[in-house]
Amino acid sequence: MTKEHDPGMPVAATSAHGWLAVAGLGPGGADWVTPEVTAALAAATDVVGYAPYVARVAPRSGLTLHASDNGVELDRAGHALRMAAEGRRVVVVSSGDPGVFAMASAVFEAVEAGPAAWRALDVRVLPGITAMLAAAARAGAPLGHDFCAINLSDNLKPWSLVERRLRLAVEADFAMAFYNPRSVARPEGFTRALAVLREACVSAGGLDRPVIFARAVSSPEETLRVVALSEAQPEMADMRTVVIVGSSLTRVIPRDGAPWVYTPRSVLVEGVLS
Amino acid sequence: MTKEHDPGMPVAATSAHGWLAVAGLGPGGADWVTPEVTAALAAATDVVGYAPYVARVAPRSGLTLHASDNGVELDRAGHALRMAAEGRRVVVVSSGDPGVFAMASAVFEAVEAGPAAWRALDVRVLPGITAMLAAAARAGAPLGHDFCAINLSDNLKPWSLVERRLRLAVEADFAMAFYNPRSVARPEGFTRALAVLREACVSAGGLDRPVIFARAVSSPEETLRVVALSEAQPEMADMRTVVIVGSSLTRVIPRDGAPWVYTPRSVLVEGVLS
């Protein structure tokens, strides 16, 4: 299955035929939207997505906005692919980066299950600033060494798998970023996640590693809170929060205001040669 | 150590005093540089960084470019902090995102080891499009489910730790993104990494999972190659390559040209309830 790739023309230059761009709008602030995404939106005939993300796109003449509910990702992807196959220029919008717990996977799931002709479509993924990197930037550099990203929602996987991944991530001494830590519909998952982390970390560097709760980063409601794992409480997270848990080597620099949190690039400077 | 955070003013509006912005330029293409980073560079008096990244900043009157060699990250960070403390407006540039295996950790290492006054400085991290998400976007959505990011360089950690993390990442069934897979100075590390992955994957979903070699993404030399793990060869990577290895559930969609690769959002659609 070795294939070489032709990067081809940028999306905005291919408007003679239909195309589908799966675009990341970043966490919210306009100054985190890439010029590539801005150009794709300017060239589009249709924008498709979850209503709060579609609401971030300015209406204009010639552009149809298709807002849909949460939880209908495959329907939305199929709708977008059908329009692109009809020759329309379609942007599917995601918050953050479309490839991280967002719409890009749903689009390719729909392609794989759909008509063979969809495989010839011009489908491109336009990356964006993903929530964990925005949160990390606000806190300092907690993801500056090896790390993992876990979606804590158990809508799409059994809780046993979430728990297994948490234990293995602690064993690997990864810093960890959690998406969708806690929703109104399933408040208990994050409570259990914190309990698993505490149990695993007691024997792996202790409970003083920092936990960062970054909520609504780049919105007017932005807050950042840094606590030790021993002090972390489930209600510190909600559905707008990204949670980052440090590795055993993550450092906290106290200062006036929020402390800076960073994970050293090297495990050798700490003298750890595990 | 609980502290609330004031997001404060954007960097470009705080030019009455010195500041330090650690900025991500993205992988290379100008249309992946965020407006926030562009504004910081426009407001800066000094740009500091590894020479190839500083070369991406357009010279202008009033802006001093400080290019340095690779491997002097702490010296560079100290230089930038001293200039900010003197009232200059300093941008430290990284490729990709500054918080992922880049300059942000070095800056905070220097802060922690430096004079107490540095903790009062206005230091901000400006996120960027990190290499693994650019590579993932070109391939489809291989990081659409839980994943980890590992720096394969053993300059800064013992090889035993790299190997342990690889085995645990396979056990957790993460997709994996590898930074710095292979350099001229240490070509053997990636050979060993592939051997470890093959050994671990034989009993964890087999050797047919896809490996993506994304080289020089968004540059004129961009190439993308997708092969099965059983076919992956060390020389397919070099220092400009990001390597992504799928999880046991990652799918390949054959088509004319490079196949699309994606990891389903859900493990349940595959009937896997491990």
Q: Answer whether A29 sits within 8 Å of B36, measured CB to CB.
A: yes
User: What's the pTM value of the predicted model, to 2 decimals?
Assistant: 0.93
Residue A271 lies in a domain: no
pLDDT computed for residue B71 by the predictor? 81
Answer whether B227 sits within 8 Å of A100, measured CB to CB: no
Domain count, chain B: 2
pLDDT above 90 coverage of chain B, percent: 80
Indicate whether B1 belongs to any domain.
Answer: no
pLDDT at position B9, please? 44
Choose one of A129, A151, A172: the last residue of a domain: A129
The CATH number of the domain holding residue B253 is 3.30.950.10
- Whether A9 shows a pLDDT value over 60: the answer reads no
Q: Taking CB atoms and an 8 Å limit, are A35 and B36 in contact across chains?
A: no
**pLDDT of A30:** 96
Residue A87 CB coordination number (10 Å): 11
Residue B16, pLDDT score = 58
Strand partners, A50: A68
The per-residue pLDDT for range A240-264, each reduced to its tens digit, is: 999 999 999 999 999 998 999 999 9
- Domain that residue A19 falls in: 11-129
Contact B148 A174 (CB under 8 A): yes
Distance CA(A243)–CA(A221), nearest Å, equals 16
Instruction: ipTM value, please give it.
Output: 0.92
For residue B8, what pLDDT is reported? 46
For residue A233, how many other CB atoms are within 10 A of its CB?
A: 12
Looking at the fold, whether A166 and A258 belong to one and the same domain comes out as yes
Helix ranges, chain B (H) = 35-43, 51-54, 73-85, 103-113, 131-139, 159-171, 188-202
Do A263 and A256 contact (CB within 8 A), yes or no?
no
Summarize pLDDT for B24-63 with one digit per residue, the tens: 999 999 999 999 999 999 999 999 999 999 999 999 999 9
Q: Give residue A16's pLDDT.
A: 58
- B206 — pLDDT class (breaks 50, 70, 90): confident
Q: Which one of B78, B95, B129 terminates a domain? A: B129
Count CB pairs under 8 A between chains A and B.
320
Which domain CATH number covers B101? Answer: 3.40.1010.10
A20 lies within 8 A of chain B by CB: no
Q: Are residues A93 and A214 in the same domain?
A: no
In a domain? residue A5: no
Work out the pLDDT band at A6, boundaries 50, 70, 90.
very low
Q: Check residues B72 and A89 and name the one with the higher pLDDT.
A: A89
Shared-domain flag, residues B70 and B178: no
Q: Which residue has the tokens 């994957």?
A: B201
Distance from CA of B133 to the nearest CA of A (A): 6
From B177's Cα to the closest Cα of chain A, the distance in A is: 10
B126-158, pLDDT tens digit by residue?
999 999 999 999 999 999 999 999 999 878 889
Is residue A249 assigned to a domain? yes
The reported pLDDT for the residue numbered B120 is: 96
Name the phi and psi angles at A77, rounded to 5: -65, -45
In this complex, which of B141, B158, B174 lies closest to A125 when CB atoms are compared? Answer: B141
* Residue-wise pLDDT tens digits, A124-180: 999 999 999 999 999 999 999 999 999 998 788 899 999 999 999 999 999 999 999
pLDDT band for B11, please (50, 70, 90 cuts). Answer: very low
Q: Residues near A124 by Cβ (< 8 Å), separated by ≥ 6?
A: A11, A19, A20, A21, A22, B137
Burial (CB count <10 Å: 0-12, 13-18, 19+), residue A231: middle
Say yes or no for a CB contact (<8 Å) between A255 and B119: yes
CA distance B174 to A72: 25
Weakest mean pLDDT among A62-71, A258-267, B55-64, B260-269 = B260-269
Q: Tens digits of per-residue pLDDT, A93-123?
A: 999 999 999 999 999 999 999 999 999 999 9
Q: How many CB atoms lie within 10 A of CB A9?
A: 9
Query: In this predicted model, which residue has the larger pLDDT, B226 or B268?
Result: B226
In the prediction, which pLDDT does B154 show?
75
Strand segments, DSSP code E, in chain B are: 19-24, 46-50, 64-68, 89-94, 123-126, 140-141, 147-151, 175-179, 210-215, 223-228, 241-245, 251-253, 260-262
C-beta atoms surrounding A248 within 10 Å:
18
Distances (CA, A) of B183 to A161, B38, B67, B236: 35, 31, 22, 12
Q: Are residues B22 and B141 in the same domain?
A: no
How far apart are alpha carbons B112 and B106 in whole angstroms?
Answer: 10
Measure CB to CB from residue B144 to each of A31, A99, A254 and give the nearest one: A99
Pairing status of strand B89-94 against strand B19-24:
parallel
Q: Chain B neighbours among A 151-210 (CB < 8 Å)?
A: 151, 155-158, 160-161, 164-165, 168-169, 171-174, 210
> Strands of A140-141's sheet, edge to edge?
A140-141, A260-262, A251-253
Written as six digits, the tokens of B211 are 């490996």
Shortest Cα distance, chain B CAs vs residue A30, angstroms: 8
Check pLDDT > 70 for residue B78: yes
